[in-house]
Structure 1
Amino acid sequence: MSDRKPIRKAVFPVAGLGTRFLPATKAIPKELLPIVDRPLIQYAVDEAREAGIEQMIFVTGRGKTALVENFDIAYELEATMAARGKDLSVLEATRFTPGNLITVRQQEPMGLGHAIWCARAIVGDEPFAILLPDELMVGQPGCIKQMVEAYNEVGGNLVSVLEVPEEEVSSYGVIAPGAVNGALTEVKGLVEKPKMAEAPSNKIVSGRYILQPEVMRILKTQGKGAGGEIQLTDAMAQMIGQQPFHAVTFAGRRFDCGSKTGFVEATLALALERPDMGDEVRKIATRLLAQ
């Protein structure tokens, strides 16, 4: 029997200002912008729940109170809906068991590594997942569940990866691969935004991680890296060779909802798959493209 600790906690770095989506994000956190009719953050939370994660840790910043309120009980809304005989089940996914949503502030925008370090007291001495909500991962099962299943086999640290055309590697963090076993690839190194000719592979890190708590000790003393920020990639690179480190090639699709075109693509793709609206959206898209 394994003494491996289960993955019970997930960290969501949601402190960003969302400036690429201004003016829409002036008063609304970008994570609450809807893909069809579900906020972006809801997709990530549902993905974590599917994987058996119990405690969600939001690393927030100023102006993000609406993000937390989204997962609160809206008494007036529910009372009004109930009085009108409307179905309340549509709100079930926005509820947490009391105490299972925890928020911590990142007072300064000092990078992803710093955001994760802000959650150190809540993570404690347990391995934990990280989900970047901007990366919408669509698959059955979800990305984090695929990674938890891999973690139960090999332990250690894991990142999700996707294969991209070689000309796109310079936009992402890329793994230097070792032995391959099905969807699992041993990680020998991590390179942030390499030149195409120097990239060790075309497998890009895609916004999902399972890390051991030792990463917090590395982040505590880590200096600033690329862009003058504390980079998570730099801390993970120090753990390679010290602990098992693998990549899981995600069986599914990724949408970069940090960009406006990726956001539109995700909205269209998911709308087309909806049985309640897919046919109508397909007709609309066909008509628009014919103009």
Structure 2
Amino acid sequence: MTQRIRKAVFPVAGLGTRFLPATKAIPKEMLTIVDRPVVQHVVDEARAAGIEHFVFVTGRNKAVIEDHFDMAYELDDTLAKRSKTRELEGLRADLPAAGATSFTRQQAPLGLGHAVWCARDIIGDEPFALLLPDMLHHTHGRGCLAEMMEAYDRHGGNHVAVAPVPEDQTHQYGIVGVEDVKAKVSKITHMIEKPARGTAPSNLHITGRYILQPTIFNLLAHQERGAGNEIQLTDSMIALSHQEPFHAVRFDGDIYDTGSKIGFLTANIAYALDRADLGPDLRAEIERLIER
């Protein structure tokens, strides 16, 4: 019987230099996709999948993320006095339960693997989910992590979300080889970070959603620095794959890298077009701009 996934890790210590000067005082994870911060969209995905405890690995100048997931008494009181019932109920619905959030510091920018390792004492000896807040997985069906949890319940072990990319772009991503490249869930046979052109085992790239066993922490503790002189999560996952099974879960929706300006702008448009209160008017404005 598989051990239930209760906790999820969110690495939010990055500097967001690609969005300066906007991110000089505001964490990149708090930039909004329509009217919700990027990190809130990812927490929504985790909560919908059944996650109960949210672990944020932060850095300097990220206190506003902690404030976002806390009560704002003055704001709540003002909304109540002004009869802003809908807005007040929305804030309360987003608020995690007491004790359901934890925050730990990554004091130095040593890579994703190091950020995950920083959460080891909070996660303990449990399997956990890992969600990269930059990567929004947009779908009209079940969320990406919910699909992964279902696959985990069937197969156990470790899981990563994957999606196809053009063959000429595989050298830009972490790539997996699988037993059945067309299957929704397939056992991973090979894993490589940014393969040289023409050497990728498939065109399926790792999309920023993971379910990992706690044994990854032991490997990360001794992981040597890799690409970019950072501790790379993929390097430890490759080592772990020699000990434990890994499965790829194919995500069939749209993925937006909000850490890039084009991805961020496109995500705003896509999410807004989906909303009944914004979509029709926005579509008309886009058509007007294109015609002009």
Alignment partners' CA distance in 2, 1:185 and 1:18: 34
| Structure 2 equivalent of residue 64 of structure 1 | 62
1:68-87 alignment runs, 5 A limit: 68-87=66-85
| Structure 1 equivalent of residue 158 of structure 2 | 157
Q: Tell me how large the CA RMSD over aligned residues is.
A: 1.0
| Structure 1 equivalent of residue 143 of structure 2 | 142
Alignment partners' CA distance in 2, 1:16 and 1:282: 33
Task: Give, in angstroms, the shift of residue 176 of structure 1.
Answer: 1.8
Alignment partners' CA distance in 2, 1:170 and 1:285: 34
Can you list the C-alpha shifts for 1:253-289, whole angstroms capped at 9, x where unaligned?
1111110010000000111111001010001100111
Task: Give, in angstroms, the shift of residue 181 of structure 1.
Answer: 7.7
Decide whether the 8 Å contact of 1:59 with 1:119 is kept in 2: yes
Decide whether the 8 Å contact of 1:70 with 1:94 is kept in 2: no
Q: Percent identity?
A: 53
AA in 2 matched with 1:21: F
AA in 1 matched with 2:185: L
AA in 1 matched with 2:12: V
Can you list the C-alpha shifts for 1:70-89, whole angstroms capped at 9, x where unaligned?
01101111101110100212
| Structure 2 equivalent of residue 220 of structure 1 | 221
Does residue 229 (structure 1) correspond to residue 205 (structure 2)? The answer is no
| Structure 1 equivalent of residue 121 of structure 2 | 121
AA in 2 matched with 1:74: A
AA in 2 matched with 1:268: I
1:1-291 alignment runs, 5 A limit: 2=1, 4-87=2-85, 88-139=88-139, 140-179=141-180, 182-291=183-292
Consecutive unaligned residues in structure 2, runs of 5 or more: none
Task: Give, in angstroms, the shift of residue 195 of structure 1.
Answer: 2.7
Task: Give, in angstroms, the shift of residue 114 of structure 1.
Answer: 0.2
AA in 2 matched with 1:134: D
Task: Give, in angstroms, the shift of residue 178 of structure 1.
Answer: 2.2
Alignment partners' CA distance in 2, 1:189 and 1:290: 48
Decide whether the 8 Å contact of 1:117 with 1:216 is kept in 2: yes
Task: Give, in angstroms, the shift of residue 94 of structure 1.
Answer: 3.2
Q: Cα 1:174–1:93, aligned 2, differ >3 Å: closer, same or farther?
A: farther
Alignment partners' CA distance in 2, 1:196 and 1:47: 34
Alignment partners' CA distance in 1, 2:127 and 2:61: 29
Task: Give, in angstroms, the shift of residue 222 of structure 1.
Answer: 0.9
AA in 2 matched with 1:9: K
Secondary structure (helix, strand or coil) at the match of 2:179 reads strand
AA in 1 matched with 2:132: L
Q: Scaled by the length of structure 2, what TM-score is found? A: 0.97
Can you list the C-alpha shifts for 1:217-276, whole angstroms capped at 9, x where unaligned?
000011101110000000000111311111000131111111001000000011111100
AA in 1 matched with 2:41: Y
AA in 2 matched with 1:29: P
Alignment partners' CA distance in 2, 1:89 and 1:244: 43
Secondary structure (helix, strand or coil) at the match of 2:198 reads helix
Decide whether the 8 Å contact of 1:46 with 1:93 is kept in 2: no
Secondary structure (helix, strand or coil) at the match of 2:14 reads coil
Task: Give, in angstroms, the shift of residue 182 of structure 1.
Answer: 3.1
AA in 2 matched with 1:41: V
Alignment partners' CA distance in 1, 2:129 and 2:32: 24
Task: Give, in angstroms, the shift of residue 93 of structure 1.
Answer: 4.0
Q: Cα 1:81–1:32, aligned 2, differ >3 Å: closer, same or farther?
A: same
Alignment partners' CA distance in 1, 2:21 and 2:117: 30
Secondary structure (helix, strand or coil) at the match of 1:248 reads strand
AA in 2 matched with 1:113: G
Secondary structure (helix, strand or coil) at the match of 2:175 reads strand
Equivalent pairs, count: 289
